[in-house]
Structure 1
Amino acid sequence: MQIMNQESIKILASQAMSAKLNRRMFLAGGLAGIGAVMLAGCSPQTSGSGGSGSAGQLSDELGIYSFPSYSSPDVIKTFSAKNGPRVTIDSFTSAEEMVAKLSAAQGTTGYDLVTSPSAYVLPLGEKGVFQKLDHDRLSNYSKLNPSLMGRSFDPSNSYSIPKATGSTGFAYDNTKISRKLETWADFLDAGANEASGRMSMIDDARTMTGPYFWANGLDWNTENKAHLKACQDFFVKYGSNIKYFDTSVGTSGKMNSGELDLVQGFNGDLRMGLLNEKNPERWTFVFPDISEVWIDNWALASGAPNEDAAYAYLDFLLEPKNALAEVDYLGYDTGVLGVAEEAAMSNATKYPELMFFTPEQMSKWTLSEVNSGRQTLVDVWNETKSAAGA
């Protein structure tokens, strides 16, 4: 493999797609808006008393609400063996389900920790669904990567700390595409030429349309109607080049099937494709200079009955050796300093360069925002799939 590192709440999805959304689609998907219906019944709440445990003694339980298969079983087992609490994880099948359940319960779900995509953090915190974090109760707080902290979705990290972060890139078969591809403009051009009919794009409105804006130097979060219309016109014509729309092209087997020469994907998923590839050297992976970055977060649920165990678990995850085990399981960086260096030295961690980003990359990549342009992008997504016969 060749590496080229260059420096009311709801998911916007059609009814047909919503049944098969997986956790990565939720992470890169987005919100239609912060809806009064779901949050109307919530009022701000203050932090709890600290759970049932006292100093030096944790409560017996820890309840987590998260995306499916989004925590390492081995890490949880080690935490419980060392610290005592029995960890129970419930999964939500959509971000909408998570918000609806926590909002309706108003602090009575029994959950302690919740996984939340970045765009949800501040609205849910301000409405009392999440409570403010006490950073002094996290002895390892200083081990978090500064590049993931203080972001616009939670400027003071009042309600959240990073759980996982990733980006979108692409990979191409260098035995079929002989020229060097470096940018999203290169990606789109190759898709319309050498890789026409043999390319795959992420099955998500927000991320699929990203390359058009990035290639043309436009704001990915634009609300400009002329720019949105130009994107729509482009993809309606471009759709016939796309063979598959697949958010998990690296884990679904399509990347390794011999059917594709060019694939857009999340870095962790494409890394899995390389791990499953008999001849990984044929794939060149590209992180373009301009792309997206997504950050998932841990938040403390309002009314958490086991705050002491929740803080102990978060602090446990911030220990580099535990963070590395979590990274190996997820395939995505968890934002703990020193883990990238440890992974690079570990024979068990392959392709660490696809999981960890440089500060320069992070400074150029953009978080998705909630705005009025999203519905147009959903229309573009659906029309592109129709043009491709998907």
Structure 2
Amino acid sequence: MKKILLSTAATLAFAGAAQAEGKLNLYVWSDSIAPELIEKFAKENDVEVTVDGFNSNEDLLTKLQAGASGYDLVTPSQHFVKIMVDQGLLEDIDAHDLAAYAQVDEKWRGQWWDPENDYSIPLAYGTAGYTVNRDIYDGPVDSWATYFEAPEALKGKIASLNYPDEVVGAAQLYLGVEFCSEDPAEMKKVYDLLAAQKPDVAVFASDNIENRIGSGEVGAHFWWDGNSLKTRKNDGAPIEFAMPKEGLVGWLDSMVVPAGAANVDNAKAFIDFMSTPENATIQYNYYAHSSPVALDLDKAEYTPENAPELFPTVPVEFSRACSPAAQDLVTKVWTQLLQ
């Protein structure tokens, strides 16, 4: 657990949000929130902020399903927002009435995972694809074929995630299988592709990716756009984020409040705080994923010229909340794969 405790005798309220006091317990994607914003919110609002990280939506869902998580704000991706709403795991915070809602780009309002904008305010969006180390592999990266059917230079040097969600989605894009398919024959094609790839997979892991791909320990890694961008720019790693013609898997993470949270008002205050143009720009520059809320463009660091990872030139298909029958097939594919 990363814990920040900061108190001030005289606190400062930020525009458009109520003063908060007490505690705020966050459970967010690992290393996803700019530390300076955590510190700033804590100082301005006399709040003790704790931050824990997760590496998959599945881990987050399991935590909330267990009950009494102790968290006040979490950041699931769009399809998991829908699952959590349907399972009664989230507080209805009337998100459409928050100051943050006015900052949200119109295209992200009224989406299928939260059509009335009752539960969520978006935090970041981007794509899942694969990154190659150019010291290991210097061939084309314009198709998922490079990842799923490894050329000689990548044999035994592929790395995958340790959960099925986006990996299965990418395989479906490559094969032309629809997301959320309930057809066992179609999902058998997905399994066959992943099973044939498995001998070339050095590791299934969702952490320490930047070191694994940046150092050349592996030559290709399933990864996310902004993470690849930061490792390329900040670490000078010889890597490239692929733009496969079959498309990338899209995601959008939102700020939501777990049902029964103890500090709902502080969670709402944090959502408003994160969504101001000033703070959203700080977050954008730190996290290096696209922002669904308004930015101060004069201070935004990433552009199509210096950050092509964030500006896809291929189709993007967003993950969906599947039926139980479809999800069972995904689980079956992954379970059999890892046996």
Name the TM-score class by shorter chain: 0.7 to 0.9
Alignment of 1:1-390 (within 5 A): 58-67=19-28, 69-89=31-51, 94-102=60-68, 112-125=72-85, 129-135=89-95, 137-174=97-134, 176-189=136-149, 191-248=150-207, 250-251=209-210, 253-275=211-233, 277-278=235-236, 280=237, 282-289=238-245, 290-302=247-259, 306-338=263-295, 342-344=299-301, 352-354=307-309, 356-357=310-311, 364-371=316-323, 372-385=325-338
Q: State whether residues 113 and 310 of structure 1, in contact with CA within 8 Å, keep that contact through their aligned partners in structure 2.
A: yes
Measure the CA separation in 1 of the matches of 2:221 and 2:50.
37
Measure the CA separation in 2 of the matches of 1:277 and 1:201.
21
Measure the CA separation in 2 of the matches of 1:306 and 1:124.
19
Cα deviation per residue 1:257-300 (whole Å; 9 max; x = unaligned)? 3333222212233234324645x3x4222233522122222223
Distance verdict in 2 for CA 1:192–1:302, change over 3 Å: same
Aligned with 1:131: secondary structure?
coil
- The one-letter code matched in structure 2 to 1:240 is P
- The one-letter code matched in structure 1 to 2:326 is G
Scaled by the length of structure 1, the TM-score of the pair is: 0.68
- The one-letter code matched in structure 2 to 1:231 is V
Q: State whether residues 135 and 216 of structure 2, in contact with CA within 8 Å, keep that contact through their aligned partners in structure 1.
A: no
Cα deviation per residue 1:20-48 (whole Å; 9 max; x = unaligned)? xxxxxxxxxxxxxxxxxxxxxxxxxxxxx
Q: Which runs of 5+ in 1 are unaligned?
A: 1-54
Aligned with 2:24: secondary structure?
strand
After TM superposition, the structure 1 stretch with the greater mean CA deviation from structure 2, 258-267 or 375-384, is: 375-384
Distance verdict in 2 for CA 1:285–1:62, change over 3 Å: same
Distance verdict in 2 for CA 1:374–1:341, change over 3 Å: farther
Measure the CA separation in 2 of the matches of 1:246 and 1:127.
28
Distance verdict in 2 for CA 1:159–1:242, change over 3 Å: same
Number of aligned positions between the proteins: 316
Distance verdict in 2 for CA 1:143–1:59, change over 3 Å: closer
Q: Which has the higher contact order (CA 8 A, sep 6+)?
A: 1
Q: State whether residues 162 and 335 of structure 1, in contact with CA within 8 Å, keep that contact through their aligned partners in structure 2.
A: yes
Distance verdict in 2 for CA 1:338–1:123, change over 3 Å: same
Distance verdict in 2 for CA 1:341–1:353, change over 3 Å: farther
Distance verdict in 2 for CA 1:175–1:97, change over 3 Å: closer
Identity in percent: 21
Aligned with 1:234: secondary structure?
helix
Distance verdict in 2 for CA 1:91–1:170, change over 3 Å: closer
Q: State whether residues 236 and 380 of structure 1, in contact with CA within 8 Å, keep that contact through their aligned partners in structure 2.
A: no
Aligned with 1:194: secondary structure?
helix
Distance verdict in 2 for CA 1:213–1:89, change over 3 Å: closer
Instruction: Give how far 1:182 is off.
Output: 1.0
- The one-letter code matched in structure 1 to 2:73 is L
Q: State whether residues 192 and 241 of structure 1, in contact with CA within 8 Å, keep that contact through their aligned partners in structure 2.
A: no
- The one-letter code matched in structure 2 to 1:130 is L
Distance verdict in 2 for CA 1:276–1:204, change over 3 Å: farther
Aligned with 1:265: secondary structure?
strand
Measure the CA separation in 2 of the matches of 1:221 and 1:231.
12
Q: State whether residues 149 and 155 of structure 1, in contact with CA within 8 Å, keep that contact through their aligned partners in structure 2.
A: yes
Instruction: Name the structure 1 match of 2:12.
Output: none
Cα deviation per residue 1:104-145 (whole Å; 9 max; x = unaligned)? x9xxx6x54343343343454466543333356433422213
